[in-house]
Amino acid sequence: MTLQVKISKKLVSYEMAFSFLRKRVELIKKSKKNELIWILEHPLTFTSGIRSKKNEILDKKIKIIKTNRGGKITLHNPGQKIVYFALNLNNRKKDIKNLIKQIELSIINFLKLYKIKSKADKQNIGIWVKNKKIASIGIRVSNWVAYHGFSININNDLSPYKKIIPCGLDNTKITSIKLESKVQILNVENKLRDIFLENLKNI
Protein backbone atom coordinates (compact mmCIF):
# COMPACT_ATOMS: atom_id res chain seq x y z
CA MET A 1 0.00 0.00 0.00
CA THR A 2 1.69 3.22 -1.16
CA LEU A 3 1.62 6.15 1.23
CA GLN A 4 3.21 9.56 0.65
CA VAL A 5 4.89 11.36 3.55
CA LYS A 6 5.38 15.13 3.34
CA ILE A 7 7.37 17.15 5.90
CA SER A 8 7.16 20.94 5.61
CA LYS A 9 9.90 22.96 7.27
CA LYS A 10 8.25 26.34 6.70
CA LEU A 11 4.94 27.43 8.25
CA VAL A 12 1.90 26.50 6.15
CA SER A 13 -1.35 28.45 6.40
CA TYR A 14 -4.33 26.49 7.66
CA GLU A 15 -6.41 27.48 4.64
CA MET A 16 -3.78 26.22 2.20
CA ALA A 17 -3.22 22.97 4.10
CA PHE A 18 -6.92 22.16 4.42
CA SER A 19 -7.61 22.97 0.77
CA PHE A 20 -4.81 20.62 -0.24
CA LEU A 21 -6.02 17.91 2.13
CA ARG A 22 -9.63 18.15 0.95
CA LYS A 23 -8.58 17.84 -2.70
CA ARG A 24 -6.37 14.89 -1.83
CA VAL A 25 -9.28 13.11 -0.15
CA GLU A 26 -11.40 13.43 -3.29
CA LEU A 27 -8.57 12.06 -5.44
CA ILE A 28 -8.05 9.13 -3.06
CA LYS A 29 -11.75 8.30 -3.34
CA LYS A 30 -11.27 8.06 -7.11
CA SER A 31 -8.06 6.01 -6.69
CA LYS A 32 -6.10 8.77 -8.44
CA LYS A 33 -3.71 9.57 -5.58
CA ASN A 34 -1.93 7.70 -2.78
CA GLU A 35 -2.66 8.04 0.91
CA LEU A 36 -0.95 10.92 2.67
CA ILE A 37 0.76 11.89 5.92
CA TRP A 38 1.77 15.55 6.15
CA ILE A 39 3.74 16.91 9.11
CA LEU A 40 3.84 20.70 9.45
CA GLU A 41 3.30 23.76 11.62
CA HIS A 42 0.79 26.60 11.23
CA PRO A 43 1.08 30.29 12.06
CA LEU A 44 -1.23 31.30 14.92
CA THR A 45 -4.68 30.06 13.85
CA PHE A 46 -7.92 29.42 15.74
CA THR A 47 -10.23 26.75 14.32
CA SER A 48 -13.65 25.46 15.32
CA GLY A 49 -15.01 21.95 14.93
CA ILE A 50 -18.60 20.89 14.39
CA ARG A 51 -19.34 20.84 18.15
CA SER A 52 -18.04 24.36 18.84
CA LYS A 53 -20.13 26.98 20.69
CA LYS A 54 -19.88 30.76 20.49
CA ASN A 55 -19.39 31.12 24.25
CA GLU A 56 -16.09 29.26 23.91
CA ILE A 57 -14.60 32.36 22.22
CA LEU A 58 -13.39 34.58 25.08
CA ASP A 59 -11.64 37.19 22.92
CA LYS A 60 -14.21 38.35 20.38
CA LYS A 61 -11.49 40.02 18.27
CA ILE A 62 -9.88 36.79 17.11
CA LYS A 63 -10.64 35.23 13.74
CA ILE A 64 -12.08 31.71 13.89
CA ILE A 65 -11.84 29.39 10.90
CA LYS A 66 -14.77 26.97 10.74
CA THR A 67 -13.89 23.38 9.81
CA ASN A 68 -15.76 20.12 9.29
CA ARG A 69 -13.64 18.13 11.74
CA GLY A 70 -14.99 16.73 14.97
CA GLY A 71 -14.36 18.54 18.24
CA LYS A 72 -14.59 22.13 19.42
CA ILE A 73 -12.41 25.25 19.28
CA THR A 74 -8.64 24.88 19.36
CA LEU A 75 -5.57 26.71 18.16
CA HIS A 76 -2.44 26.01 16.16
CA ASN A 77 0.78 28.00 16.32
CA PRO A 78 4.53 27.68 15.71
CA GLY A 79 6.09 25.02 17.93
CA GLN A 80 3.01 22.80 17.73
CA LYS A 81 3.41 19.89 15.34
CA ILE A 82 0.44 18.93 13.18
CA VAL A 83 0.18 15.50 11.59
CA TYR A 84 -2.44 15.57 8.85
CA PHE A 85 -3.44 12.39 7.10
CA ALA A 86 -5.73 11.06 4.40
CA LEU A 87 -6.14 7.30 4.81
CA ASN A 88 -8.25 5.00 2.66
CA LEU A 89 -9.96 2.65 5.09
CA ASN A 90 -11.54 0.85 2.14
CA ASN A 91 -8.11 -0.78 1.75
CA ARG A 92 -7.60 -1.18 5.48
CA LYS A 93 -9.80 -2.09 8.43
CA LYS A 94 -13.06 -0.16 8.40
CA ASP A 95 -12.71 0.52 12.09
CA ILE A 96 -12.76 4.15 13.26
CA LYS A 97 -12.25 3.23 16.91
CA ASN A 98 -9.12 1.31 16.02
CA LEU A 99 -7.83 4.24 13.96
CA ILE A 100 -8.27 6.56 16.95
CA LYS A 101 -6.60 3.99 19.20
CA GLN A 102 -3.55 3.79 16.92
CA ILE A 103 -3.31 7.59 16.81
CA GLU A 104 -3.48 7.70 20.60
CA LEU A 105 -0.79 5.03 20.88
CA SER A 106 1.40 6.92 18.41
CA ILE A 107 1.24 10.08 20.51
CA ILE A 108 1.76 8.21 23.80
CA ASN A 109 4.79 6.35 22.38
CA PHE A 110 6.19 9.59 20.97
CA LEU A 111 5.90 11.29 24.36
CA LYS A 112 7.72 8.37 26.01
CA LEU A 113 10.81 9.44 24.05
CA TYR A 114 10.77 12.56 26.22
CA LYS A 115 10.14 10.57 29.41
CA ILE A 116 6.58 11.89 29.58
CA LYS A 117 3.91 9.55 30.91
CA SER A 118 0.60 10.25 29.19
CA LYS A 119 -2.81 8.68 28.67
CA ALA A 120 -5.92 8.79 26.53
CA ASP A 121 -9.30 9.79 27.95
CA LYS A 122 -12.51 8.26 26.61
CA GLN A 123 -14.58 11.21 27.86
CA ASN A 124 -12.31 13.92 26.42
CA ILE A 125 -10.58 12.80 23.23
CA GLY A 126 -6.92 13.67 23.12
CA ILE A 127 -3.81 12.84 25.12
CA TRP A 128 -3.27 13.98 28.68
CA VAL A 129 -0.33 14.42 31.04
CA LYS A 130 -1.86 14.15 34.50
CA ASN A 131 -4.80 16.58 34.22
CA LYS A 132 -3.41 18.71 31.39
CA LYS A 133 -3.94 18.21 27.66
CA ILE A 134 -0.86 17.96 25.46
CA ALA A 135 -2.31 16.64 22.18
CA SER A 136 -5.57 16.98 20.26
CA ILE A 137 -7.18 14.67 17.71
CA GLY A 138 -9.75 15.61 15.06
CA ILE A 139 -11.07 13.19 12.44
CA ARG A 140 -13.68 13.14 9.72
CA VAL A 141 -14.56 10.19 7.49
CA SER A 142 -16.02 10.43 3.97
CA ASN A 143 -16.73 7.24 2.01
CA TRP A 144 -14.29 5.47 4.34
CA VAL A 145 -11.47 7.92 3.64
CA ALA A 146 -10.36 9.25 7.05
CA TYR A 147 -8.74 12.65 7.19
CA HIS A 148 -7.74 15.68 9.31
CA GLY A 149 -5.24 14.58 11.98
CA PHE A 150 -3.68 15.35 15.33
CA SER A 151 -1.55 18.04 16.96
CA ILE A 152 1.05 17.91 19.72
CA ASN A 153 2.26 20.87 21.74
CA ILE A 154 6.05 20.72 21.51
CA ASN A 155 7.51 24.10 22.49
CA ASN A 156 4.79 26.51 21.40
CA ASP A 157 3.55 29.63 23.20
CA LEU A 158 0.52 28.55 25.23
CA SER A 159 -0.67 32.07 26.15
CA PRO A 160 -3.06 32.37 23.13
CA TYR A 161 -5.14 29.57 24.70
CA LYS A 162 -6.38 32.26 27.13
CA LYS A 163 -8.42 33.72 24.26
CA ILE A 164 -10.62 30.60 23.99
CA ILE A 165 -12.06 27.69 25.93
CA PRO A 166 -9.98 25.04 24.11
CA CYS A 167 -11.85 21.83 23.36
CA GLY A 168 -14.42 22.94 25.94
CA LEU A 169 -11.80 22.80 28.71
CA ASP A 170 -10.30 25.10 31.32
CA ASN A 171 -7.72 27.02 29.29
CA THR A 172 -5.11 26.62 32.04
CA LYS A 173 -5.17 22.85 31.61
CA ILE A 174 -2.94 22.82 28.53
CA THR A 175 0.70 21.76 28.51
CA SER A 176 3.61 21.03 26.17
CA ILE A 177 6.70 18.83 25.91
CA LYS A 178 8.84 21.85 26.81
CA LEU A 179 6.99 22.24 30.11
CA GLU A 180 6.90 18.54 30.94
CA SER A 181 10.35 17.28 29.92
CA LYS A 182 14.03 18.14 30.26
CA VAL A 183 14.97 15.88 27.34
CA GLN A 184 16.36 17.81 24.37
CA ILE A 185 13.79 18.22 21.60
CA LEU A 186 15.39 17.06 18.33
CA ASN A 187 14.26 15.44 15.05
CA VAL A 188 10.60 15.71 16.02
CA GLU A 189 9.23 15.22 12.49
CA ASN A 190 11.21 12.05 11.81
CA LYS A 191 10.33 10.52 15.17
CA LEU A 192 6.65 11.27 14.70
CA ARG A 193 6.70 9.89 11.17
CA ASP A 194 8.38 6.62 12.16
CA ILE A 195 6.10 5.95 15.13
CA PHE A 196 2.90 6.77 13.24
CA LEU A 197 3.90 4.66 10.23
CA GLU A 198 4.60 1.71 12.53
CA ASN A 199 1.18 1.96 14.19
CA LEU A 200 -0.55 2.38 10.83
CA LYS A 201 0.35 -1.26 10.18
CA ASN A 202 -2.41 -2.10 12.67
CA ILE A 203 -5.06 -0.17 10.75
Over residues 146-179, the pLDDT tens digits come to 999 999 999 999 999 999 887 666 666 899 999 9
pLDDT, tens digit (0-9, with 9 covering 90-100), for 110-152? 999 999 999 998 888 899 999 999 999 989 999 999 999 999 9
Show me where the domains of the chain are located: 3-200
Concatenating the DSSP letter of every residue in the chain gives --EEEEE-SS---HHHHHHHHHHHHHHHHTT-S-EEEEEE--SSEEEE-TT--GGGBS-TTS-EEE-SSSS-EEEE-TTEEEEEEEEEGGGS---HHHHHHHHHHHHHHHHHTTT---EE-SSS-SEEETTEEEEEEEEEEETTEEEEEEEEESS---GGGGGB-GGGS-TTSB--HHHH--S----HHHHHHHHHHHHHTT-
Exactly one of 87, 120, 139, 167 is catalytic; which is it? 167
Fold of 3-200: BirA Bifunctional Protein; domain 2 (3.30.930)
pTM: 0.92
Q: Judge whether 25 counts as a catalytic residue.
A: no
Q: What pLDDT is attached to residue 36?
A: 98
